[in-house]
Structure 1
Amino acid sequence: MIRGTRGLAGSLLLSSLLLQLTREGVSADSCPSSCLCATDILSCVFGKLEQVPPDIPQSAATLDLSYNRIVQLEEGSFSGLPRLHTLRLAHNRVSRISQGAFRNASGLRHLDLSSNEMHVVEQHYFQELLGLEELLLFNNRITRMESKSLSGLTNLRKAYLSLNRLTDFPFFSIQEHSHPFLSTLDLSSNRMLKLPLEDIAALPMSVQKGLFLHNNTLICECGMYSMFRHWERRNFSSITDFREEHTCLVYGERRASVRFFRHTRFFENCTIRAQGLLAEPEESLQAFAGDAVLMNCHTSLQGRPINYWWISPRQEYIIPPGNNSTLRMFPNGSLEIREAQVEDSGVYLCMAQDRRLLRNETWEVNVTVQLRRSEAESFNTGLTTLLGCVVSLVLVLMYLYLTPCRCPCRKQLPAAPSPANECSAQSSILTATPPATTEGPGRKASNNKHVVFLEPIKEAQNGRLRVALGPEHSKMQQLRGETDSITSVFSDTPIVP
């Protein structure tokens, strides 16, 4: 009787351990044969699978089924995976998703269905994925998206739909209250001909900044051109990062494709705004440095509550009461720059939203802050003075150190006359002690004074100058003996070559 109780208790304990191991994904038998399992990661890449494996462990948080042959996602394919948050199904043959395929998989955050064979994105495909944040549908064959195919994804942040065959997109289904976190919508490399400018202008500013529309077959028109130019002035990354990829067809001809950011002559007659379709009026204000600048947010929205906020030229979001240092915002939507500086110049964007009517409007204010004339003149005068001093100093240094010596002389003169010392003889000699006598014309004697003696020149012979005193003269002998005491050489008479 005791043995039987112990055996039953041991069986129950063993069953409990096996159940716990199965739940934690530790059991070797819980991993499908064509997959690799590592804790909560399950990889079935290149497994030649034609459907989702039915025996996926419940502990799987990341499931990679890429590079297989899956054609359709059946109902309840992922219902037994409560921890699943990342699902990769890229490079398969998925063309349809059955209703209820993602039932009980509301925790899914990342879904990759790129490089498949989908043609239509139906309304029920992703409605059960309330927590989905990133959706990858690029490189499919999608020609149409139903109007409510993304309406239930309230946490969606990024949606990639490039490299498909879309001719239009339901922009009206994306509003700020329905997709408050959406920041990237990639519709590049599709087949769109015209853009619904009014619907795009109604998109939240966060969506417009991340709306990629390059490499489409757009027809060149003023409305399209004005909208992209408007985004360019705001430095939207969708424009700055893909500037050369923005093309349009002149008169709709596919062979006449132009890069409209480079070739602007086709749009010379277009206005800055597309006949008011963007509904973003602009106001210009000018002020001097140090003044206070008040910007009003003009809007046609009436009633309450209305929310206001501004975006500065440095892409800084400003809400009441402001940043408490340089910008102050009032309840009526006005924005004040307390002490404007030159670096505060730029385009300020005001956005007003009516929550009850689910409408929003924007207003632009172009602020230009400049220095006062006296400040600018004093600045220019100081700069000119500084520049003049620098130039003068450079000229002085050039005169002192870069003046060429036309006849370099040696320190010691040879005993016999030579062409070298003839050059020295025609120069004036500065000595600290005058000669002992005053013989010879043109000489003066002075006691205890430093005098510069100019040796007289007798004549020019063979195109060269000769000294009046010969080598045997006593004064010349004394001059040669005092050659080492020469300190500097000057000349008061021109040297005739």
Structure 2
Amino acid sequence: MDVYPRRLYLQAGRGCPTCCCFATPDTVQCRYVRLLEPPADLPRAVRNLSIAGGNLTVLRAAAFAGGWAPGGREAAARPLAQLTLLVLTHDRIAALEEAAFAGLPALATLDLSHNPLRAVAPGAFAACGRLRTLRLNQALPPAPGAAAELLLGGALRNLSLARLELAGNRLRELPPAAALPPGLEELDVRNNSLRAPRPERLDGLARLRLLLAANPLHCDCASLRPLLAWRRNATWRAPDARGLRCASPPPLRDAPVLRLRAAQLGCPDGDADDEAWGLPEPDGAGQEQLETASYVFFGVVLALIGVVFLMVLYLNRKGIKRWLNNLREACRDQMEGYHYRYEQDSDPRRAGPGDL
């Protein structure tokens, strides 16, 4: 078995130069080679496949498994039964046709980030029964949220995803629950254009974790109340809530959301109850009190250890004094013996004539 990575030369397809991929028996990487089609001769034992910087444009049926078998049967010609990770970033993919990933029964993670997706067939992921993580960061068209819903709604509905990443897509609205896989556990919508998540959209996402950092949130009473109320009873729903900051209005720009008071948001007197909103102590006082208590407890523990050490020294003072005296006497005897030998023969390397 090869210990060091070996170089594989794979024929990319019609009209395309031979691409040089560096591979181990279960990992193939093709980076920034102008592929027009997926490599035609992928090893059947490959588990991790990465193609970055290509020009794939359109992924047809069973694109990575040799297409459909001849004879009209809807089965992949060369299925890759062990492939679990497929990374296709910066490949200029604009369209995913029906059953584009057929022939990859074990596929668990698919990364289509940084591609200009414009068309996704409803059955593009139909053959990916084990797909758990789908990354579509900076891959959706720069259009209002409705366009993204139409693009992804039919394709994602039948998947059993655990994590969906939609970061950096300039989304103005959260995707509706109907357009998401039913068992989704985590949705990443960081670095989008979300200003005020609507209550009905948040209510549909009550059973998953939502990552919202780096969105231009508008901080006023009407805009923030749905988000804070949604998070109030289950703080795990927004694991990055402490990193959320306001983008507007100007007086509150860059202010941490969880340190704002209801009065700062312009709420009427009847709505100015911070506890009802689920807001923590002002200016992080609760966190500071917890840290202070931790430092005090640590100091008390160190003090107790010091007191015990001093008591041990005090109770054993006679034994310690005796041990020091014995050590001093032993050192003195050693030095006297050294001086005696030196006086007898100051240079033992020289020998007199009678010793020869």
TM range (shorter): 0.5 to 0.7
Question: 1:239 and 1:59, CA in 2 relative to 1: closer, same or farther beyond 3 A?
Answer: closer
Note the alpha carbon deviations across 1:26-74, whole angstroms, 9 max, x for none: x998855521232122221233323211221222221111233332222
Structure 2 partner of 1:101: 100
Distance in 1 of aligned mates of 2:201 and 2:149: 16
Contact persistence 1:197–1:223 (CA under 8 A): no
Distance in 2 of aligned mates of 1:173 and 1:229: 23
Question: 1:29 and 1:203, CA in 2 relative to 1: closer, same or farther beyond 3 A?
Answer: closer
The structure with the largest strand share of the pair is 1
Do structure 1's residue 110 and structure 2's residue 116 form an aligned pair? no
Contact persistence 2:110–2:135 (CA under 8 A): yes
Structure 2 partner of 1:35: 21
Contact persistence 2:217–2:245 (CA under 8 A): no
Structure 2 partner of 1:123: 122
Q: 1:242 offset after TM fit, Å?
A: 4.8
Distance in 2 of aligned mates of 1:157 and 1:63: 21
Contact persistence 1:122–1:145 (CA under 8 A): no
Normalised by the length of structure 1, the TM-score is: 0.42
Structure 1 partner of 2:175: 170
Question: 1:257 and 1:118, CA in 2 relative to 1: closer, same or farther beyond 3 A?
Answer: farther
Q: 1:150 offset after TM fit, Å?
A: 1.5
Do structure 1's residue 184 and structure 2's residue 194 form an aligned pair? no
Do structure 1's residue 152 and structure 2's residue 132 form an aligned pair? no
**Within 5 A, what are the aligned runs for 1:147-296?**
147-154=153-160, 156-173=161-178, 179-180=182-183, 182-205=184-207, 207=208, 210-230=209-229, 233=232, 236=235, 239=238, 241-250=240-249, 257=253, 259=255, 260-264=257-261, 265-269=264-268, 271=271
Q: 1:148 offset after TM fit, Å?
A: 2.8
Question: 1:73 and 1:59, CA in 2 relative to 1: closer, same or farther beyond 3 A?
Answer: same
**Within 5 A, what are the aligned runs for 1:45-444?**
45-79=31-65, 80=78, 81-119=80-118, 123-142=122-141, 143=143, 144-146=148-150, 147-154=153-160, 156-173=161-178, 179-180=182-183, 182-205=184-207, 207=208, 210-230=209-229, 233=232, 236=235, 239=238, 241-250=240-249, 257=253, 259=255, 260-264=257-261, 265-269=264-268, 271=271
Contact persistence 1:49–1:70 (CA under 8 A): yes
Identity of aligned residues (%): 22
**Within 5 A, what are the aligned runs for 1:406-485?**
none
Distance in 2 of aligned mates of 1:54 and 1:122: 23
Distance in 2 of aligned mates of 1:272 and 1:105: 55
5+ residue gaps, structure 2: 1-5, 12-18, 66-77, 279-356
Note the alpha carbon deviations across 1:442-471, whole angstroms, 9 max, x for none: xxxxxxxxxxxxxxxxxxxxxxxxxxxxxx
Q: 1:249 offset after TM fit, Å?
A: 3.5
Normalised by the length of structure 2, the TM-score is: 0.57
Q: How many residues align?
A: 241
Structure 1 partner of 2:350: none
Aligned residue for 1:230, secondary structure, equals helix
Note the alpha carbon deviations across 1:270-292, whole angstroms, 9 max, x for none: 7379xx9x9x9xxxxxxxxxxxx
Question: 1:258 and 1:41, CA in 2 relative to 1: closer, same or farther beyond 3 A?
Answer: closer
Q: 1:248 offset after TM fit, Å?
A: 4.9
Question: 1:78 and 1:66, CA in 2 relative to 1: closer, same or farther beyond 3 A?
Answer: same
Distance in 2 of aligned mates of 1:189 and 1:255: 22
Distance in 2 of aligned mates of 1:54 and 1:248: 49
Aligned residue for 1:203, secondary structure, equals coil
Distance in 1 of aligned mates of 2:260 and 2:155: 37
Distance in 2 of aligned mates of 1:118 and 1:255: 38
Distance in 2 of aligned mates of 1:159 and 1:272: 36
5+ residue gaps, structure 1: 1-26, 281-497
Between stretches 119-128 and 132-141, larger displacement belongs to: 119-128
Aligned residue for 2:201, secondary structure, equals helix
The structure with higher relative contact order (CA 8 Å, sep 6+) is: 2
Question: 1:122 and 1:31, CA in 2 relative to 1: closer, same or farther beyond 3 A?
Answer: closer
Q: Aligned partner of 1:50: which letter?
A: L
Contact persistence 1:71–1:96 (CA under 8 A): yes
The structure with the largest helix share of the pair is 2
Aligned residue for 2:187, secondary structure, equals strand
